[in-house]
Amino acid sequence: MRSGVVGPRGGTIQFRYALGRRARLWDEFSPALYRLNVALAGRQDRGTAFRDTAATVFGLRAFTARGTRFAINGRPAFLRGTLECAVFPRTGYPPTDVPAWTRIFRVCKAHGLNHVRFHSWCPPEAAFAAADTAGMYLQVEAACWATLGDGNPVEGWIMAEADRILRAYGNHPSFVMMAYGNEPGGKRRKAWLGGFVRSLRRRDPRRMYTSGSGWPAIPANHFHVLPDPRIQHWQEGLTSRVHSSPPETTTDYRAFVRRHRVPVVAHEIGQWCAFPNFGEMAKYTGLLRPRNFEAFREILRDQGLSRLARAFLMASGRLQVACYKEEIESALRTKGFGGFQLLDLHDFPGQGTSLVGVLDAFWDAKPYLKPGEFSRFCGPTVVLARLPKRTWTTDEVFSASLEVSNFGPRPLRAAARWRVSDDAGRTLATGTCLTRQVPVANGVPLGAVRVPLAAFAPARRYTFAVSLRGTDVANDWSFWVFPIRRPVPPDRNILETRDLDRVALATLAAGGRVLWSPDPARIETGGAVLGMAPVFWNTCYTNNAPPHTLGLLCDPRHPALAAFPTAFHADWQWWDLLSHGAAFDLGRLPRPPAPIVRAIDTWYENRNLGLVFETRVGRGRLLASGLDVATDLDHRPAALQLRASLLAHLRSPLPIRAAAITPARLQALVRDVSPR
């Protein structure tokens, strides 16, 4: 107990209270909290007795940097975060009760996250209290997205607001990071932000500070939040890694990390979209109405595609998950990395509608993903496999390097057990790597795997699964095996053509069969540009940046795909074909056929996009492919296999259910193809 004199204007009484050597520390795995109760008792000048009490909750923790890594209480930590952009559709404002925030953080934890960044705002007291209990690391910001360094009044407000935030919430152990706000502008921003960060560091050294989320990387920062280490950057379009390079699981960002001396958090990674879930509209029971979804649903109806809304959601969602998996694993593979902040685990209805979440705007799961699947590749401990590619041929040896990212509460002693299986669940190869000690770190090697593929059935999808024996840590990756063979020789009964020229039309008129694979550059797409990954953020706010599609909707049971391995959605085996293809705008036809392989368009357009379709032309049978199955097939095994599958179907006697299309209508699907 400490006594002192407090004057009319107040005063300060300081004292120390030793918690002892057994005091528990706070972190994401053990969020130990203490409650401090203080009573002030005494007498006023006239002898009147008074008594007042106050209480605060706090935790004991040290959130610091060790080189380019974060550390919690001296143990390495990796931030697996998402943004919160004040998205609360029922009320239009954030909740101020602890249970509501407890639910949000529980959902984050179920998906393997340990961190939330509040984009350009500071949450209410209830959020900090819930995060303290949940063991969630928070980054808050001084509610701004501004131009700085020009002496404008907003600068004084930011300084004062930051001070108010520190005074109000500084005791919360979950409050580990702070920034001015988001992506600052201004030619003199670095000088002003340097002073801002240095001021906060002096005022309250209990947390780490940075200039702004996104930039700039200045010497005063405890850590940087930068957009460079991610798969797709703003306005990068089809030049990004996911679109321009064959799929693999080896890329990391260690070269970028080496250029910095403090931890780097990847800024707003992901931004992969899925199709709207119109079932979500019924949840808008409060202040806001889903006018955006109403418009998108109306466009879909006008295109005659309403019946496909659910299928579009499910197929685009599975591709979205595949992209998030590679995005997150790229970060986890990077030694010395600080972490990432997703944009976003849940949808963002603003800026034209960005359906980037595996959760909807209400923090509810979408029907194509369960939290446990996400946390397999986004958790405290994740087993990883570096695959040089995702498609192989039967004359090759499948290879993988195994490693683990372990940012759990303690080191592990574990062995990796691996298994290769087919879609029927049959095991084709299995093995175990040597048991080793796994520290709290990432990039820890577990061993290498090599499996000859000569005995594997070709044109199949296989699963490479890895688990850590004695734990519940497991992960898996799909890969595809194609046959090595020369292109199928021409069939005298089938005409393969790039053009619907006089020969092709005569063949059809005579009742013949034609495989038509025009040059993708000549296909009338209605403006839709294909990509391997789905739409980034949205096509409205990015000025229609490509790609414009959200993956594929396939009919894997259609006989035309019987010899090509695919599910109902796009996956990595489609990369080469999508890189050499274009979608027919079937909306140009009065009675468009149902595509065997369909591209899912952006929800602003909902064009009827076909990649593979079948129709009758006169007495003949036409199978059209906007995916190039005609060129460079010696180096494109997936295209070679799709061609073989399409030709096998053309040879079959199965009837065609689609309505006939006249040659003139078909020629309207491509440019400059007058019959010769």
Residue 326: its H or E element: helix 309-332
> pTM for the whole thing?
0.96
- Label residue 2 by pLDDT band (50, 70, 90): low
- Find all residues with CB under 8 Å of 14, minimum gap 6, and list them: 2
Q: Which two tokens stand for residue 131?
A: 């995060």
Strand partners, 419: 430, 465
> Phi, psi at residue 588, to the nearest 5°?
-75, -15
Half-sphere exposure of 339 (CA within 13 A, CB side): 26
pLDDT in tens, 418-449: 999 999 999 999 999 988 999 999 999 999 99
10 Å CB burial of residue 47 (0-12, 13-18, 19+) is: exposed
> What mean pLDDT comes out for the span 201-218?
98
> What mean pLDDT comes out for the span 546-568?
97
Strand partners, 405: 382
115/486: higher pLDDT: 115
pLDDT in tens, 23-67: 999 999 999 999 999 988 887 767 788 889 999 999 999 999 999
pLDDT in tens, 234-259: 999 999 999 999 999 999 999 999 99
- Label residue 368 by pLDDT band (50, 70, 90): very high
Q: Which two tokens stand for residue 331?
A: 């970060």
| pLDDT at 282 (0 to 100) | 97
**Torsion angle, CA of 633/637/642/645, rounded to 10 degrees?**
100
Read out DSSP for 120-164? Answer: T----HHHHHHHHHHT-EEEEE-S---B-SS--HHHHHHHHHHHH
pLDDT cut 90: percent of the chain above it: 90
- Find all residues with CB under 8 Å of 30, minimum gap 6, and list them: 24, 135, 409
**675 pLDDT exceeds 50?**
no
- Label residue 1 by pLDDT band (50, 70, 90): low
- Find all residues with CB under 8 Å of 188, minimum gap 6, and list them: 148, 149, 150
pLDDT in tens, 613-665: 999 999 999 999 999 999 999 999 999 999 999 999 999 988 887 789 999 99
Q: Which two tokens stand for residue 475?
A: 């992960």
| pLDDT at 298 (0 to 100) | 98
Asked if residue 328 lies in contact with residue 68, where contact means CB atoms within 8 angstroms, the answer is no
pLDDT in tens, 467-491: 999 999 999 999 999 998 766 677 7
| pLDDT at 488 (0 to 100) | 63
| pLDDT at 676 (0 to 100) | 46
Question: Could you tell me which of 586, 584, 577, 566 has the C-alpha nearest to residue 531?
Answer: 577
Among the ranges given (10-14, 105-109, 199-203, 615-619), the one the predictor scored with the smallest mean pLDDT: 10-14
